């Protein structure tokens, strides 16, 4: 059971990282005007929760090191929401 959970964590972590990297590339190229889909952030959040409670020290360490992602995303969403409120 644990092996299956770790495999699922590894696969979903890899897929969400690829999705977030492609969002960043699109934003840098000017193709995307918003912060990207909410599902990517939700996936990252669920993976962080799993990582923190996994009990594996390496996974916990990696998860804590990646928490800055949420600060960046929240700032992006804040700017987008405020700019829409000002324009409206």
Q: How far apart are CA 45 and CA 66, in angstroms?
A: 11
Q: Give, for 43, the enclosing helix (H) or strand (E).
A: helix 38-52
At residue 33, does pLDDT exceed 60? no
At residue 35, does pLDDT exceed 80? no
Domain that holds residue 23: 2-87
| Neighbour count for residue 65 (Cβ, 10 Å) | 9
pTM of the model: 0.57
Q: How far apart are CA 16 and CA 85, in angstroms?
A: 30
Q: How many domains does the chain have?
A: 1
Q: Which structure tokens are listed for 61? A: 């360490």
Picking from 34, 36, 29, 62, the residue whose alpha carbon sits closest to that of residue 48 is: 62
At residue 32, does pLDDT exceed 60? no
């Amino acid at each position: 059971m644990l092996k299956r959970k770790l495999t699922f964590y590894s696969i979903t972590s890899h897929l969400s990282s690829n999705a977030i990297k492609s969002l960043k590339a699109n934003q840098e190229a000017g193709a995307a005007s918003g912060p990207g889909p909410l599902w990517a952030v939700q996936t990252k959040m669920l993976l962080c929760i799993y990582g923190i409670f996994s009990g594996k020290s390496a996974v916990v360490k990696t998860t804590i090191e990646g928490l800055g992602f949420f600060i960046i995303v929240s700032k992006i969403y804040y700017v987008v929401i405020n700019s829409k409120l000002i324009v409206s």
